[in-house]
Amino acid sequence: MCYKNISIIGLGYVGLPLAMAFAEKGIRVIGIDKNSSKVKMLKRGKSYVEDISDVELVRNLEYFYPTTNYSTLSTVETAIICVPTPLSKTKDPDISYIITAANEIAKYLHPGMLIVLESTTYPGTTEEVLKDIFKKNGLEVGKDFWLAFSPERIDPGNKKFNVKNTPKIVGGVTKDCTERAIRLYEIICEKVVPVSSATAAEVVKLLENVFRAINIGLVNEFAQLCHRMGLDVWEIIDAASTKPFGFMPFYPGPGIGGHCIPVDPLYLSWKAKLFDFRTRFIELADEINSKMPEYVVYRIFEVLNGIGKSIKGSRILVLGVSYKKDVGDVRESPNLKVITLLLEKGAEVIYNDPYVPEFYHFEVHWHSQELTIRLLKEVDCVLILTAHSLYDWELITKNSNLVLDTRNAGNGILNVIRSKNIHKL
């Protein structure tokens, strides 16, 4: 089958880079997103995703057509779903965006169409939920249309790995579905890795992020132990990393963020309960990682108390609100919880983030403050939550009254600038 027209539903951190990769190959891509403001920006050649520059977007507008109109699905051979899959307040899977997209596709489903789900979800979603939605049209999967799962593996801000050179996992509902999906992704990916089923592909993605969440939970707990023992956890990790086998470094921080690591393991944990199985490692890691913002606030209490100050009434400058360095993504950012906890303790909180000029949190419109020497000298404490490469760590530390560094900022430059006013996680 020759793919000439495809549609990508959801034009965020996953969907937009995927759309650009296909458009670069001369494939006509109809990008569908319900956010009309984003669609208008894209049509003007303005990208809101850091990994896609305005220049790249404009270059691909010849083949890329952003819209809010689902009826365009009637003109494509393939529909790829890249919508969000958050957790509910009770930490149960919320696949409502997937179901909405699938119902829209079902209206325009036609013989020969391939549908691929990329949104991370619990095992069985593709075969147990999507297949039933599409069967209502009277078409048979694997014969009249094809259905597969291919987990997104986007790492926002990663300059080394992208859609093209990251191996692509694919698993279809039938063998023919897998083959169709392989042929699709071979257009843009250097390596495509087939697995036995759509469910297997769903679990692959979950395992990848369970691995990360558990190891981050381990090192976050280890950081707390090292603090109790008067040790520098980053020194310990760096020394352990010199072992050429049997060790992989993970680093502590104020918690875990982004759309994958805080969410994906809990999708698997939820599904496991249906098999009367308890995922104890996942639950423990989630407990430790979820409480890291509280530990950060406890450390703020300690360092302020050390100079005779209380959190209540103190002016605290937060550096970085995005969940990782050099991106503007605040989804599931633990930094926002830290800010909330500080406000609840009576602190006055302001922030600077060169990648997040403004954001909304608990119905408050926050604005990034200009990072000046005067501001650094005025605040009671500088709290480093995201170690963006743009920050001048020497300038910051030399002009701050008190610093709590949760990220080993500047790869340890604070170790060089020895000062009693600099504290680590």
Catalytic residue among 82, 177, 260, 381: 260
Q: Which of 275, 255, 277 is nearest to 332 (CA)?
A: 255
3-state SS record for 1-57: CCCCEEEEECCCCCHHHHHHHHHHCCCEEEEECCCHHHHHHHHCCCCCCCCCCHHHH
Distances (CA, A) of 338 to 150, 317, 335: 34, 12, 5
- In the chain, the amino acid numbered 305 is N
- Rounded CA gap, 412 and 425, in Å? 13
Three-state SS for 339?
A: helix
Three-state SS for 359?
A: strand
Whether residue 260 lies in the annotated active site: yes
Q: Which of 372, 260, 388 is nearest to 322 (CA)?
A: 388
Residues 296, 346, 302, 368: what is their CA dihedral angle, to the nearest 10 degrees? Answer: 50
- Rounded CA gap, 193 and 167, in Å? 7
Catalytic residue numbers, as ranges: 260
